Amino acid sequence: MKIIADNTVPYLKGIAEPFAEVLYLNSKEFNTEKVKDADALIVRSIDKCNRKLLEGSKVKLITTATIGFDHIDTKYCAEAGITWKNAPGCNAISVAQYVLASIVAISLHKNESLNGKTIGIIGVGHVGKEVEKLCTAYGMKVLRNDPPREEAEGRAEFVSLDTIAQKADIITIHVPLTKEGRFATRHLADEEFFNKLKRNPWFINSCRGAVHDTQALLQAKRENKISELVIDCWENEPDIDRELLEEAIIATPHIAGFSADGKANGTRTCLENIGKFFHITIEKIGEVTPPAPQNTIIDLNRFSTQSRIEQAILASFNPTVVDKALREAPDKFEWFRTNYNHPREFRAYTVINATPEERHLLLSLGFNSK
Ligand SMILES: NC(=O)c1ccc[n+]([C@@H]2O[C@H](COP(=O)([O-])OP(=O)(O)OC[C@H]3O[C@@H](n4cnc5c(N)ncnc54)[C@H](O)[C@@H]3O)[C@@H](O)[C@H]2O)c1
Ligand SMILES: O=C(O)[C@H](O)[C@H](O)COP(=O)(O)O
C-alpha cells in the first residue's frame, strides 16, 4: 500500500515503512498528481483535503494528526467514499497547560492572584474539560458554555454565552470551527458578544482564529472591554494581523497543542487508524513516544518563596519565549511551527522540595512530586 504523509508530522519516519511505501511531502507539495495513487494520507491542519486535491485519486483514508478537522472537506469525502479520521483529545492536555501557563504568566505580570477569579469556558469538550480541571485545581471558579452539550445533557451544568460575557474575569474558547448549522462558531466572538462584556476580562483564543472577528476583537481591546489578550490561533494564518499582534500580551504561532506528548498521540492515532482500516498490525507503533526532557526535575527551592508553583509551571513551558520570537519575526509564523522545540507536558516532570500543600496542588495539575 502507499501512504503519503506530511513530512513535518513528528515521530512518524520509519514506523510505517515495514508495511507500506511512504512518500513524505511538505504541505506545498500535496497536489492531485502526487496523491492520485495513494491509499492513505497522513496530514496536518495546514494540508487542505478537498475536491481539488482528491478528485480522481484512489485515496481511501485520510487521517489527520490533529483534533481539528476544518481542513478536511467532509462533505466531499462522504460523496467520494473517502473515510476521514481525526485524533480526538490528542493534544487536549497540551492546550489546557498552555492556557494555564498563559494566565499564570499574566497574573505574575499584573501581580493579581488567579485564586477566586472566574473563568468562562466556551466549548467544554476534550480541551475545555482539561482547562476546567486545571483551573478548578488552581482555585478558580468555572462557568461552562456548550449549547450542543446542554441540549444533549440538560441545563444544570451550563450557562449562556451572555452569562459568560457578564460574569467571567477570563474567557477562553475551545470550540471547533464550523461555518454552518445551529451551533456554527465562525465569528462566535463578534462585536455583539464583546459589547456584552462586563468585567474587562482577559480573552484567550487557542482554538481557531476565525472563531473571533479580528476587527471586533481589536476594537474591544482598544476600548478596554477586554483587558488582556492571549492569541494562539489567528484569522488567515500564517498571514496574521499585525495590529492584533501588538495588542496581545501573549501571541503565539498556533502551538498551544504542540507538546511532544500531544504530537506523539496524534501520530500514534493516525497509525492506529491506518491499522484498523487496512487490517494491518503495526509492529513499531510502540516506538512513537515523546523524548524525555533534558532535566526531569524541577526543584522548588530554586525559586523565590512566593509563587513557587507558578514558577514551576513556567519552568516546564513558558509561552512568553515563543511570543518574543514571533514578535521579532511574524513573517516566520509557519517556520516557528515547523521548527518548534516541542515541550513535554507536566507529567514528564517531578517537582521536588514541595510542602504538603504545594504537593497536593502539583499532583492535581498533573506533575509528579515528592
Ligand atoms: N491551538 C491548538 O493547537 C489546538 C489544539 C487542539 C485543538 N484546537 C482546536 O480546539 C477545538 C476544540 O477541541 P476539543 O478537543 O475540545 O474538541 P471537542 O470536539 O472535544 O469539543 C468541542 C466542544 O465544543 C462544543 N461546541 C460546538 N459548538 C459550540 C458552540 N457554538 N458554542 C459552544 N460550544 C460549542 C461541542 O459541543 C464540544 O463539546 C478543535 O476543534 C480545534 O480546532 C486547537
Ligand atoms: O487541531 C489541532 O489538533 C491543533 O490545532 C493542532 O495544534 C494543529 O497542529 P498542526 O496540524 O498544524 O501541526
Whole-Å CA distances, 253 to 234, 282, 369: 8, 33, 31
Q: Which of 26-35, 141-150, 243-252, 299-308 has the lowest mean pLDDT?
A: 299-308
> By alpha-carbon position, which residue is closest to atom 37 of ligand 1?
148
161 and 240 belong to one structural domain: yes
Probe target for ligand 2 pocket from 67, 174, 208, with the most ligand atoms within 8 Å of CB: 67
The pLDDT > 90 percentage for the chain reads 99
Any domain includes 80:
yes
How far does residue 370's CA lie from ligand 2's centre (Å)?
34
Check whether 257 is labelled as a binding-site residue. yes
Assess contact for 356 and 304: CB atoms under 8 A. Answer: no
pLDDT at 288: 98
Residue 141 lies in a domain: yes
Averaged pLDDT for residues 345-368: 98
pLDDT confidence of residue 71:
98
Domain, as residue range, for 318: 297-369
Cite the beta strand spans of 151-289 per DSSP E: 170-173, 202-205, 228-231, 250-251
Q: 339: exposed, middle or buried (C-beta count within 10 Å: 0-12, 13-18, 19+)?
A: exposed
What would the grid cell of residue 197 be?
462584556
Query: Residues 11, 41: contact at Cβ < 8 Å?
Result: no
Per-residue pLDDT reduced to its tens digit, 80-127: 999 999 999 999 999 999 999 999 999 999 999 999 999 999 999 999
**Is 198 strand, coil or helix?**
coil
What is the pLDDT at residue 91? 98
User: E strands, the chain, where?
Assistant: 2-6, 21-25, 40-43, 61-64, 83-85, 118-122, 141-145, 170-173, 202-205, 228-231, 250-251, 297-299, 350-352, 368-369
Query: What's the whole-number mean pLDDT along residues 157-186?
Result: 98
Q: Does the model's ipTM exceed the 0.85 cut?
A: yes
Asked about 237 being catalytic, the answer comes back as yes
Three-state DSSP at 180 gives coil
- Of the pLDDT bands very low, low, confident and very high (cuts 50, 70, 90), residue 306 is confident
Are 190 and 213 spatial neighbours (Cβ–Cβ below 8 Å)? Answer: yes
**Residue 156 gets which letter from DSSP?**
T
Is 143 part of a structural domain of the chain? Answer: yes
Whether residue 240 sits in one domain with residue 158: yes
Query: For residue 49, what pLDDT is reported?
Result: 98
Domain boundary among 241, 269, 287: 287
Total-model pTM: 0.98
Ligand nearest to the CA of 66: 2
Mean pLDDT of 219-241: 98
Residue 204, domain member (yes or no): yes
- How many structural domains comprise the chain? 3
Grid cell listed for 5: 504523509
Per-residue model confidence (pLDDT) at position 106? 98
Among 262, 10, 11, smallest CA distance to 126 is for 262
User: Is 170 in the same domain as 244?
Assistant: yes
Q: Which residue, among 333, 329, 366, has the nearest Cα to 349 in the 3D structure? A: 366
Residue 138 and residue 282 in one domain: no
Mean pLDDT of 154-162: 96
Given pLDDT bands bounded at 50, 70 and 90, which one contains residue 304? Answer: confident
44 Cα to the center of ligand 2, angstroms: 6
Euclidean distance between the first and the last CA atom of the chain, given in angstroms as a whole number: 49
Catalytic status, residue 79:
no
Whether 182 has a pLDDT exceeding 90, the answer reads: yes
The whole-chain average pLDDT of the chain stands at: 98
The rounded Å distance from CA 92 to ligand 2 centre is: 11
Q: Which residues of 3-28 are buried (b: 16+ CB within 10 A; e: fewer)?
A: bbbbbbbbbbeebbeebbebeebebe
Mean pLDDT, rounded, for 238-248: 98
d(CA 54, CA 34): 10
Indicate if 245 and 120 belong to the same structural domain: yes
> What DSSP state is assigned to residue 72?
B
- 142 is a domain residue: yes
**317 & 362 share domain:** yes
Same domain? 136 vs 233: yes
268 and 325 share one domain: no
CATH assignment of the domain containing 134: 3.40.50.720
Q: Convert the pLDDT of each residue in 333-349 to its tens digit.
A: 999 999 999 999 999 99
pLDDT at 305: 79
Annotated active-site residue 279? The verdict is: no
Ligand nearest to the CA of 267: 2
- Ligand 1 pocket, residue 128 CB under 6 Å: yes
Q: Are residues 56 and 148 located together in one domain of the fold?
A: no
17 domain-assigned: yes
Q: Nearest residue CA, atom 5 of ligand 2?
A: 68
Shared domain check, 172 and 157:
yes
Q: CB–CB of 325/343 below 8 Å?
A: no
Check residue 370 and give its pLDDT: 83
Q: What is the pLDDT of residues 21-59, one digit of tens each?
A: 999 999 999 999 999 999 999 999 999 999 999 999 999
Together in a domain, 140 and 16: no
Task: Judge whether 292 lies within some domain.
Answer: no
Domain contains 158: yes
- Do 214 and 277 belong together in one domain? no
Q: Which CATH number goes with the domain that contains 326? A: 3.30.1370.170
